[in-house]
A and B are shown apart, each in its own frame.
Chain A
Amino acid sequence: MLKKRIRLSTIIRIILIGAALLVPCLHLKNYIMRILITAGIYMILGMSLNLVMGIGGMVSLGQAVFYGIGAYSAALITLRLCWPLWSVILATIVISGLSGFLLSIPMGRVTGRYVAIITLGYCEIINLILINWQSLTRGPAGLMNIPRPVTLGYQLKSSNSYYYFVLATVFIVYTAIGWTLNSKLGRNLRAMKEDSIAAEAMGINIFRQKMIVFTMSGAVGGIAGMLYAFNIGYIDPTNFTNVESLAVVSIVTVGGLGSMFGTIIASFVLTVIPEMLRGFSEYRQVLYGAALVLIVLLDHSIPGTRFKRYLSDQTDKVKSKFLQKIARMERKGKNDSAVRS
């Protein structure tokens, strides 16, 4: 039974990947491709937050920091140093990873809502630096004319080629996170989220786990920022405020904490809905907000995963009852035999 379920989810994944690969063949409008690219970028950003929130169990309200740092470092390195793409990617990962590490340092003994407050403050600080360090970032004027990346001697100018670039990145990030979570590190992180006291008693250094998860989250968030900078070609500090952080929090919450696949679906849905509502002009944000509330009320997560969770909840309940019954019967049997002897 378990085998079947695994196979079904693999099939769904393969179908989705296939569909994603075939999208450019439909010759859609540039505008739609751009929406899909944005969705892809949010998928990566969402996964980076889900690492901290869903796996590490800490609410971060400052994910825009990594997004911004990734975008600015990629843009600055490309514009000022003219490094090739692969070095830019590597440098972006290192720089934004470092910024994540920096954020984890005050987290030593901090838990719960205080983590959220620290991340909120960190986001504010970095935003002010981006605005005021004019010699480097050009302040509120922002950085312009960031060229599309060149890879294998080919510039990703068209929407379709950039779409594939983003798609590949989403796939790589998703797979790498999957590997990580299915290892000792993943288990330790989940243990920390479930019960940090018991985890400590098992020899897990909580502070170290926090450092690792924030560094990872920073690196992944930075990749999303880099993709954003290359996509739009223009960045300024207003793109990376707490508003952005909250948008990502809603993506992760809707997709389901700890589920990377849910995050991917949720980023897609939550990027497409506002675009579909464009016709309603000023009521757009109201409708978007209402849609968010509805989704969360209906379920705390999107319909597809809702059904799955309902199923697994039910089987869990039945199983646990069954196990208890067996234990009771065993006990009874033993008691009977004890009485007889």
Chain B
Amino acid sequence: MTALLEVSHLQIVFGGLVAVEDLSFSLNKGEVTSLIGPNGAGKTTVINLLTGFYEPDQGRITLKGQDITGFPSDQYAKIGLARTFQNVRLFTGMTVQDNILVGMQHRIPYGAFLSFFPNPTKLKAEETAIEQAQQILERVGLSDLRDEKAGNLPYGLQRKLEIGRALATNPSVLLLDEPAAGMNPQETRELGAFVRSLLQDVDAILMIEHDMKMVMRISDQIIVMNYGKMISMGTPAHVQNDPVVLEAYLGKGAKKSVKG
């Protein structure tokens, strides 16, 4: 198995707080990797580092062998990294379809100048883009609602739309920040299967999630963080039985309870 995304010795300090310390891991092709840990462990910071919202103080990030450390954050969509946000960040005033089209924007082959007036290049590009957007909407099950304002969708569908928007950038690595937050057990189970199925569309998935059942069921690899450090990494079975993990979650003396 080849490593698609490699992170080595990543570190970032905010003031006196070491938010992420000496973090190294890699995402493999065809795998779902989950990033878990107590609140404030630095999980979202990792995603922010991976998508250029923060610049690491130390360390290197490589995607398919290319060093992407410190790229400006608008470059990541082009090189194949897409993310969702912990608290959904849709373009709420725009339609569902327009949200997807914004995600596709770097693949729509005409520039600002051709936007100003109707011309064959623009019309053709828009037509194919709308077709592709329709496929993505079908993929996430929102094709009936494409003319709806994104802000009008119920919460669960907004989450799905956000995943769809990330898929629209045609990423090789998908970063999901707590996709199941605020969902009930039934929805969470469906979402788990859906996330797993996304491996048909992308090469690898990194997911932050608090729902242990879902994490244990769909992950190939789990990374556990606490206070900015990685404290354990491995298969679900390995992580579940790691005493260090139990201690981080439940305190000393706890036994085997992280199991899903």
Chain A interface residues toward B at CB < 8 A: 2, 176, 179-180, 183-188, 190-191, 194-195, 197-206, 212, 316, 319-320, 323-324, 327, 331, 334-335, 338
Is the pair A191, B94 in contact by a Cβ cutoff of 8 Å?
yes
B89 touches A2 (CB 8 A): no
Residue contact B89 to A202, C-beta cutoff 8 Å: no
Residues of B with Cβ closer than 8 Å to A? 51, 53, 72-78, 82-83, 85, 89-94, 98, 101-103, 105-106, 108, 110, 112, 115-118, 122, 125-126, 145, 147-149, 152-154, 156-157, 165, 169, 184, 186-187
Contacts of B101 in A (CB 8 A): 184, 187
Contacts of A188 in B (CB 8 A): 102, 105
- Is A200 a contact of B116 with CB atoms below 8 Å? no
CB contact between A203 and one of B77, B93, B118, B186 (< 8 Å): that residue: B77
Report B172 CB to chain A, min CB distance, Å. 14
A180-B115 CB under 8 A given contacts A187-B101, A202-B103, A335-B186? yes
How far apart are A321's CB and chain B's nearest CB, in angstroms? 9
For residue A177, which residue of chain B has the nearest CB? B116
Question: Are B147 and A202 interface neighbours, CB within 8 A?
Answer: no
User: Is the Cβ of B184 less than 8 Å from the Cβ of A202?
Assistant: no
Can you list the 3 inter-chain pairs with the closest CB atoms, starting with the nearest? A203-B77, A185-B115, A183-B115
CB-nearest residue of chain A to B81: A201
Assuming A198-B91, A206-B74, is B186 touching A184 (CB within 8 A)?
no
Q: Say what secondary structure dominates the interface of chain A.
A: helix
Q: Which residues of A contact B165 (CB under 8 A)?
A: 202
- Most chain B C-beta atoms within 10 Å of own C-beta, residue among A2, A185, A197, A324: A185
Chain B residues with CB under 8 Å of A194's CB are 91-94
Of B115, B122, B148, B187, most buried by chain A (CB within 10 Å of CB) is: B115
Question: Smallest distance from the beta carbon of A42 to chain B beta carbons, Å?
Answer: 23
Would A334 and B152 be within 8 Å (CB), given that A190-B91, A191-B91 are in contact? no
Residues of chain B within 8 A (CB-CB) of A197 are 53, 85, 89
State whether B91 touches A319 (Cβ < 8 A): no
A323 contacts B154, C-beta separation under 8 Å: yes
Decide: A180 near B116, CB < 8 A? Known: A203-B77, A203-B169: yes
Quick one: which of B77, B94, B117, B147 contacts A201, CB cutoff 8 A? Answer: B77
Asked if residues B94 and A190 are in contact (CB atoms below 8 Å), the reply is yes
Nearest Cβ on chain B to A322's Cβ, whole angstroms: 9
Determine if A203 and B187 form an interchain contact, defined as CB atoms under 8 angstroms apart. Answer: no
Complex interface: chain B residues within 8 A of A204 (CB):
74, 102, 105
CA–CA, A201 to B168, complex, Å? 12
The answer to whether A203 and B154 touch across the interface, beta carbons within 8 angstroms, is: no
Known: A190-B94, A200-B74, A202-B165. A179 touches B116 (CB 8 A): yes
Considering residues A184, A194, A197, A323, which has the most beta carbons from chain B within 10 angstroms of its beta carbon?
A184
- Chain B CB within 10 A, most for which of A180, A191, A205, A323: A191
* Bound-state Cα–Cα, A204 to B117, Å: 21
A209 to B, closest residue via Cβ = B112
Contact partner, B108, options A180, A184, A198, A324, Cβ 8 Å: A184
Closest to A318 in B: B152
Bound: A320/B165 CA distance, A? 20
A331 to B83, CA, bound (A): 27
A33 to chain B, nearest CB (A): 31
> Looking at A200, A324, A331, which has the most chain B CB atoms within 10 Å of its CB?
A200
> Shortest distance in angstroms between A215's beta carbon and chain B's nearest beta carbon?
9
A selection of 11 A-B contacts at a CB cut-off of 8 Å is: A176-B117, A185-B112, A187-B101, A197-B85, A199-B91, A199-B102, A202-B105, A316-B152, A323-B145, A323-B152, A323-B154
Give complex CA distance A94, B134 in Å: 39
Known A179-B116, A184-B115, A185-B112; further 9 A-B contacts with Cβ < 8 A: A184-B110, A187-B94, A190-B93, A194-B91, A199-B102, A200-B74, A206-B74, A324-B154, A331-B187
Given contacts A201-B76, A203-B78, contact A183 B122 (CB under 8 A): yes
B164 to chain A, nearest CB (A): 12
Given A2-B147, A194-B91, check contact A203 B116 (CB 8 Å). no
Write the nearest CB–CB distance from B27 to chain A, whole angstroms.
18
CB distance B89 to A195 under 8 Å?
yes
Contact B102 A200 (CB under 8 A): no
**Residue with the highest number of chain B CB atoms closer than 10 Å, among A187, A201, A212, A327:** A201
- Bound complex: CA A327 to CA B142 (Å): 12
Chain A nearest CB, measured from B199 CB (Å): 21
Determine the chain A residues whose CB is within 8 A of the CB of B184 once the complex forms: 331
